[in-house]
Amino acid sequence: MSGEDTPAPQQSEDQVQKGQPAGEPEAEPPQEPQGEASNEAATEAATEAATAATTEAEESQPASTAANDKAPEEEAFTYRALVLTGYGGYDKVKLQLKKGRPNPRSGEVTVRVKACGVNFPDLLARQGLYDRLPSPPVTPGMECSGFIEAVGEDVTDRKVGDRVMVLERCGLWQEVVLVKADHTFLMPEGMTYEEGAAFPVSYITAYVLLFEMANIRPNKSVLIHMAAGGVGIAATQLCQTVSDVTVFGTASANKHEVIKQGGVMHPIDYRTRDYVEEIRKISPQGLDVVLDPLGGSDTQKAFNLLKPMGTLVVYGAANRLSGQRKNLLALAKSWYSQFTISALSLMHSNKAVCGFHLGYLDNEFALISGVLQKLLHLYQQGKIKPRIDSTYHFEQVSDAMRRMQDRNNIGKVILLTEPKKEEPKSKEDSKDQKEEGQNDIKKEEPKEGVETEQPKTGES
Chain residues that interact with ligand NAP, rule: CB under 6 A: 119-121, 201-202, 205, 226, 228-232, 250-252, 255, 293, 315-316, 318-319, 321, 356-359, 404-405, 407, 409
- Tell me if 440 sits within 8 A of 42, measured CB to CB: yes
Find all residues with CB under 8 Å of 432, minimum gap 6, and list them: none
Binding mask 305-324 for a second copy (x = CB under 8 A): ---xx-x--xx-x-------
Binding mask 185-224 for a second copy (x = CB under 8 A): -----------------------x---xx-x---------
Which partner, a second copy, ligand NAP, none, binds residue 339 by CB below 5 to 8 Å per kind?
A: a second copy
Q: Which is nearer to ligand NAP, 202 or 439 (CB)?
A: 202
Helix axes 365-380, 200-207, angle to 10 degrees: 100
Q: Which is nearer to ligand NAP, 120 or 379 (CB)?
A: 120
SS3 call for 429? helix
Distance CA 239, CA 53 (A): 45
Q: Which is nearer to ligand NAP, 214 or 404 (CB)?
A: 404
- Tell me if 388 sits within 8 A of 198, measured CB to CB: yes
Find all residues with CB under 8 Å of 87, minimum gap 6, and list them: 126, 127, 128, 136, 325, 326
SS3 call for 362? coil
Which partner, ligand NAP, a second copy, none, binds residue 396 by CB below 5 to 8 Å per kind?
A: none
Residue 94's DSSP bridge partners are 83
Which partner, ligand NAP, a second copy, none, binds residue 293 by CB below 5 to 8 Å per kind?
A: ligand NAP
Q: Which is nearer to ligand NAP, 42 or 400 (CB)?
A: 400
Which partner, a second copy, ligand NAP, none, binds residue 110 by CB below 5 to 8 Å per kind?
A: none
Q: Which is nearer to ligand NAP, 63 or 209 (CB)?
A: 209
Q: Which is nearer to ligand NAP, 83 or 358 (CB)?
A: 358
Q: Which is nearer to a second copy, 121 or 136 (CB)?
A: 121
Q: How far is the CB of 118 from a second copy (least distance, A)?
A: 21
Count of residues near a second copy by CB under 8 A:
38
Which partner, ligand NAP, a second copy, none, binds residue 52 by CB below 5 to 8 Å per kind?
A: none
Which partner, a second copy, ligand NAP, none, binds residue 119 by CB below 5 to 8 Å per kind?
A: ligand NAP
Binding mask 341-360 for a second copy (x = CB under 8 A): xxxxxxxxxxxxxxxxx--x
Q: Which is nearer to a second copy, 59 or 364 (CB)?
A: 364
Q: Which is nearer to ligand NAP, 104 or 121 (CB)?
A: 121
Distance CA 387, CA 447 (A): 10
Candidate list 339, 369, 374, 438; residue touching a second copy; CB under 8 A: 339
SS3 call for 24? coil
Distance CA 156, CA 162 (A): 12
Distance CA 178, CA 63 (A): 6
The string of DSSP letters for 115-161 reads EEEE-HHHHHHHTT--TTSPSSSB---SEEEEEEEEE-TT--S--TT
Distance CA 12, CA 161 (A): 8
Q: How far is the CB of 293 from ligand NAP (least distance, A)?
A: 3
Range 69-108, binding a second copy (CB under 8 A): none
The string of DSSP letters for 62-105 reads TT-PPPSS--HHHHT-EEEEEEE-SSSSGGGEEEEEEESPPPP-
Instruction: Respond yes or no on whether the N-terminal peptide bond of residue 200 is cis (omega within 30° of 0).
Output: no
Range 360-419, binding a second copy (CB under 8 A): 360-361, 363-364, 367
Distance CA 227, CA 254 (A): 12
Q: Which is nearer to a second copy, 76 or 346 (CB)?
A: 346
336 lines the binding site for a second copy (CB under 8 A): no
Which positions touch a second copy (CB under 8 A)?
208, 212-213, 215, 292, 295, 299, 308-309, 311, 314-315, 317, 338-357, 360-361, 363-364, 367
